[in-house]
Amino acid sequence: MPSHSNPTITTIAESAGVSIASVSRVLNGLPVRDATERKVLAAAQSLGYVPNSVARSLKSSRTNQVAFAIEDIGNPVYLAMLREIQPVLKQAGYRLVLHSTGADLDEELEVLRGLGQRYADGLIISPIRVTPEHLAELERATAPVVVIGSLPDGSPVDNVRADSRTGVEMALRHLRDLGRRRIGFVNGPLDTVPGRSRDAAFRAGMRRWGMVLDEDLVHVGAFRRRTGAEATRALLAGDAAAHPDALLCANDLIALGALDVLRERGLRVPEEVAVVGMDDTDLAAASWPALTSVSLGSAERGRRAAQLLLDRLADPGSGREPRVVTVEPSLHVRASTGGDRVADDGAAPR
Amino acid sequence: MPSHSNPTITTIAESAGVSIASVSRVLNGLPVRDATERKVLAAAQSLGYVPNSVARSLKSSRTNQVAFAIEDIGNPVYLAMLREIQPVLKQAGYRLVLHSTGADLDEELEVLRGLGQRYADGLIISPIRVTPEHLAELERATAPVVVIGSLPDGSPVDNVRADSRTGVEMALRHLRDLGRRRIGFVNGPLDTVPGRSRDAAFRAGMRRWGMVLDEDLVHVGAFRRRTGAEATRALLAGDAAAHPDALLCANDLIALGALDVLRERGLRVPEEVAVVGMDDTDLAAASWPALTSVSLGSAERGRRAAQLLLDRLADPGSGREPRVVTVEPSLHVRASTGGDRVADDGAAPR
């Protein structure tokens, strides 16, 4: 039975049996579960809701700001994203608010909750872990959010993903084609998203290309140069016949540490040991020998996330389905595996 | 003759014969010229102005945001500043709004003017050039501004400076102590602030340490790796007796290009040619040989700028005098001049 005045969000929420935030999300065209959307629209219709009054009031309180939340400003992977996100937002007339959560889970959740204070029209976030609390906050968010980093299927927000499995496969295939068979793997912590996914990718890739995985050649430490050095010293400690003829390192800093020790031991790179890094940061081209590295497309992931968010902001009523974009990895072959020895030009600091 | 109602900013400005912006700055405790301050305070007093009503209204419209404007997000020097500025602001409860002006003078001025829209409570800016227009905008600014990069003496805002002259002197003294006398210098464009100041510093430093400056050993290009390679090829083209025995490079990328060509020519570093970079970016420790580099304290400059701005924001009424802070340079000696060959651990990307 339609009421005579336009119903409030609260009335619709009560009638639909969902939260006020869910009603707000549906009426503002933000992604929600299909079932929630159906309930809200049915309740709104039966109560005689005149569309867009809420959307209009939301529009009038625009901040022209978009927030980007990352774990650590010093991390070149996030910087590569930032470099792409900033100009895309700027061109669309948005200022960029930068959050650094210091790898603190509570701070990440605080950033998501803080959206309720309306200091930004939308948020791009790259969480260190995706917990049930994250998913609950994403469900409640009252402004569009794009997550960089894999979310479970069916999550309520737009999601930009890397494909570390394919990236690692490309590196292992390259090493196999160079005749390498004893592949060492030096990784960061397994309780982080990249540590776990790179470990899984290494194991899958070795199977995929029919190579024998020797657990003695797998080392886990931190995503730091010191881990690369320590792991390489350990790998070179035993019988020479058991040494690796190639090292896959889970980031470029680990690879730099490996190169340090190979140089110190007088082992030729790539003739005796080939080395591959990951993330293809500026350090890869700066090192000697220049480092072959797997790019997981951090720049592209940043650009795509910004575009997805702008689409939502430009037309909140369209396309309620959450979208998933997976960015292709690429392998940048340089001297550390016998590739191009001509140096990259790199960026232009001063 | 005092009026009965509290005078407006406009009345005070007319009476003092200064701009409305100047009155606003004085009443809000922002830095202004001494003479301006005296005129405004005299006019305010004679008109019976009750202090702080303006300041109070300003306070109520706080955004809890601080803006940081840089030329280029990809430049590691600015990133080093950003890494320090962000946590200092965050701890004080401010969000960071990041502007990238793309080395465009008009955009820089636009950022200064934009402060009038009250989207931020204060601004830290590192301009590429300091023009009369910049100084005029700084004079007009209605919120506290801190400039990173040398301003003319008597400028109306707080200023954090580098000391490239002392930094270059340290590098040249180090090379002289190593017995080097034919010092080459590869610089970026002379119409930029760092290009010009590094050129002047090189000339002063050579005089200071009593070394002969050979103009044939001075090359100017871009602040890029390619310039380092091209200049080094040119310097090695003629008679071997005329070759440099050391290269001072005006940033680390130029130095990487120099190392590329020295390696290509089979010249030993540092035995035949010692190489020094500037800015001490992450690339310096990543290169091989690891690069000796002059740090102009970009991290420290960022931190000091954030602190100066927070001081103003916390207590706008105190200390009207613009403050000048000069950050000390330091020389990081590594393998490219025969220093410590142990690799730095560096940051932790993943």
Subunit contact A225:B345, Cβ cutoff 8 A: yes
The confidence band for B57, taking pLDDT boundaries of 50, 70 and 90, is very low
**Nearest-CB residue to B79 (from A79, A90, A256):** A79
Residue in the block written with tokens 């200022």: A95
| Residue-level pLDDT at B116 | 83
Write down the mean pLDDT value for chain A. 87
Q: Are residues A221 and A307 in the same domain?
A: no
Percent of chain A with pLDDT over 70: 91
Helix axes A225-235, A252-264, angle to 10 degrees: 50
The confidence band for A214, taking pLDDT boundaries of 50, 70 and 90, is very high
Min distance A103 CA to chain B CA atoms (Å): 12
Q: Are residues A209 and A139 in the same domain?
A: no
Q: Are residues A179 and A282 in the same domain?
A: yes
Q: From chain A, pick out residues whose CB is under 8 angstroms from the CB of B344.
A: 225
Task: Say what the alpha-carbon torsion angle A243, A247, A249, A253 is, to the nearest 10 degrees.
Answer: 90
Q: Are residues A183 and A278 in the same domain?
A: yes
Mean pLDDT of B114-138: 89
Q: From chain A, pick out residues whose CB is under 8 angstroms from the CB of B126.
A: none
Subunit contact B346:A250, Cβ cutoff 8 A: no
Please indicate whether residue B4 or residue B87 has the higher confidence score (pLDDT).
Answer: B87
Q: From chain A, pick out residues whose CB is under 8 angstroms from the CB of B259.
A: 288
Q: Are residues A169 and A275 in the same domain?
A: yes
| Residue-level pLDDT at A82 | 94
Min distance B35 CA to chain A CA atoms (Å): 37
E strand or H helix at B309, and its extent? helix B298-314
B123 token code pair: 């601004």
| Residue-level pLDDT at A24 | 73
| Residue-level pLDDT at B50 | 61
Subunit contact B287:A288, Cβ cutoff 8 A: yes
| Residue-level pLDDT at A288 | 86
Question: B348, B324, B313, B319: which is closest to B55 by C-alpha?
Answer: B313
Domain that holds residue B181: 164-295
| Residue-level pLDDT at B29 | 66
Question: B34, B57, B54: which is closest to B44 by C-alpha?
Answer: B54
Q: From chain B, pick out residues whose CB is under 8 angstroms from the CB of A124.
A: none
The answer to whether residue B262 scores a pLDDT higher than 80 is yes
User: Residue A264's domain is classified under what CATH number?
Assistant: 3.40.50.2300
The answer to whether residue B69 scores a pLDDT higher than 60 is yes
Q: Are residues B287 and B177 in the same domain?
A: yes
Residue A86 lies in a domain: yes
pLDDT digits (tens, 9 = 90+) for A14-49: 888 887 777 777 776 677 777 888 888 888 878 877
| Residue-level pLDDT at B343 | 42
| Residue-level pLDDT at A51 | 55
Subunit contact B72:A346, Cβ cutoff 8 A: no
The confidence band for A323, taking pLDDT boundaries of 50, 70 and 90, is very high
Q: Are residues B168 and B231 in the same domain?
A: yes
Q: Are residues A278 and A172 in the same domain?
A: yes
The answer to whether residue B332 scores a pLDDT higher than 80 is yes
**For residues B81 and B277, what is the distance between their CA atoms, to the nearest angstrom?**
19
User: Residue B27's domain is classified under what CATH number?
Assistant: 1.10.260.40
Fill in the amino acid letter for A42: A
Domain-ending residue, one of A295, A310, A335: A295
B283 token code pair: 């690339």
**B73 → chain A, closest CA residue:** A83
Residue A283 lies in a domain: yes
Residue A2 lies in a domain: no
Contacting residues for A329 by C-beta, under 8 A, at least 6 apart = A162, A163, A164, A166, A167, A170, A294, A295, A296, A297
**B189 → chain A, closest CA residue:** A350
Mean pLDDT of A169-180: 97
Residue A3 lies in a domain: no
| Residue-level pLDDT at B127 | 86
How many domains is chain A built from?
3
Q: Are residues B196 and B239 in the same domain?
A: yes
Q: Are residues B94 and B177 in the same domain?
A: no
| Residue-level pLDDT at A29 | 66
Lowest-pLDDT range of A66-70, A193-197, A202-206: A193-197
Contacting residues for A125 by C-beta, under 8 A, at least 6 apart = A68, A69, A70, A108, A111, A112, A145, A146, A147, A148
Q: Are residues B325 and B242 in the same domain?
A: no
Residue B173 lies in a domain: yes
Mean pLDDT of B235-254: 94
Subunit contact A350:B77, Cβ cutoff 8 A: yes
Lowest-pLDDT range of A173-182, A340-349, B81-90, B133-142: A340-349
Residue-by-residue DSSP string for B91-152: HTT-EEEEEE-TT-HHHHHHHHHHGGG-S-SEEEE--SS--HHHHHHHHH-SS-EEEESPPP
Subunit contact A223:B350, Cβ cutoff 8 A: yes
**For residues B307 and B313, what is the distance between their CA atoms, to the nearest angstrom?**
10
| Residue-level pLDDT at A53 | 39
Mean pLDDT of B232-240: 93
Write down the mean pLDDT value for chain B. 87
Residue A195 lies in a domain: yes
pLDDT digits (tens, 9 = 90+) for A237-253: 989 889 999 999 999 99
The answer to whether residue B253 scores a pLDDT higher than 80 is yes
The answer to whether residue B226 scores a pLDDT higher than 70 is yes
Residue A1 lies in a domain: no
Domain-ending residue, one of B295, B317, B340: B295
The answer to whether residue B62 scores a pLDDT higher than 60 is yes
**Nearest-CB residue to A97 (from B79, B95, B343):** B95
Residue B152 lies in a domain: yes
| Residue-level pLDDT at A21 | 74
| Residue-level pLDDT at B340 | 59
Mean pLDDT of A306-322: 84
Min distance A77 CA to chain B CA atoms (Å): 7
Q: Identify whether the C-beta of residue A331 lies closer than 8 Å to the C-beta of residue A291.
A: no
Subunit contact A260:B82, Cβ cutoff 8 A: no
CA distances from B100 to A22, A49, A124 (A): 36, 44, 18
Reported ipTM: the value is 0.77
3-class SS letters over B67-100: EEEECCCCCHHHHHHHHHHHHHHHHCCCEEEEEE
The answer to whether residue A6 scores a pLDDT higher than 70 is no
| Residue-level pLDDT at A193 | 80
Subunit contact B225:A343, Cβ cutoff 8 A: yes
| Residue-level pLDDT at B317 | 63
Q: Are residues A115 and A199 in the same domain?
A: no
